[in-house]
């Protein structure tokens, strides 16, 4: 029997690899921010003009949001994609070490309770 009570030591294996490291922006954040900015700009532009008394301000704002929000989403996507392109150019290559640890099966003790099936 081994000195450590019959338990064998875990085996490790190391390897290295070259990987590209970059910080990529999260595109959905830019899309949501663009939609919010589009809604706010639409609100400001709608409030600067006189509302039609037959339609009202809220209906005019809702109608023009159909144009302002998608325009903001498109602008947010363009900014996000431009920053993503920039992050690809700024990527650097680093050496990464991969370490795998394989733990051996633990032997059962004779005093351990038996599991019923």
Domain of residue 69, residue span:
22-91
Q: Is residue 77 part of a domain?
A: yes
Count of domains for the chain: 1
pLDDT in tens, 40-56: 999 999 999 888 888 88
Confidence of residue 29 (pLDDT cuts 50, 70, 90): very high
Residue 73: inside a domain: yes
Cα–Cα distances in angstroms (integers) from residue 16 to residues 19, 72, 76, 89, 92, in the given order: 10, 44, 38, 24, 16
What CA–CA distance (Å, rounded) separates 93 from 19? 6
CA distance 46 to 61: 6
CA-CA distance, 51 to 46, in Å (whole number)?
8
The per-residue pLDDT of the chain, averaged, comes to 83
For the segment 62-100, what is each residue's pLDDT rounded down to a tens digit? 999 999 999 999 999 999 999 999 988 888 888 888 887
Does a structural domain hold residue 13? no
Q: Is residue 112 part of a domain?
A: no
- Asked if residue 70 is part of any domain, the answer here is yes
Q: Is residue 31 part of a domain?
A: yes
User: Structure pTM?
Assistant: 0.63
């Amino acid at each position: 029997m081994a000195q450590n009570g019959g338990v064998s030591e875990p085996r490790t294996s190391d390897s290295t690899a070259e990987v590209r490291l970059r910080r990529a922006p999260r595109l959905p954040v830019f899309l949501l921010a663009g939609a919010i900015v589009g809604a706010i700009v639409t609100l400001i532009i709608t409030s600067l003009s006189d509302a039609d008394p037959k339609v009202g301000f809220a209906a005019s704002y809702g109608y023009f949001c159909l144009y302002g929000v998608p325009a903001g989403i498109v602008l947010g996507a363009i900014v996000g994609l431009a920053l993503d392109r920039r992050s690809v150019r700024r990527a650097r290559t680093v050496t990464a070490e991969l370490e795998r640890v394989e733990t051996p099966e633990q032997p059962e003790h004779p005093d351990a309770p038996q599991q019923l099936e």
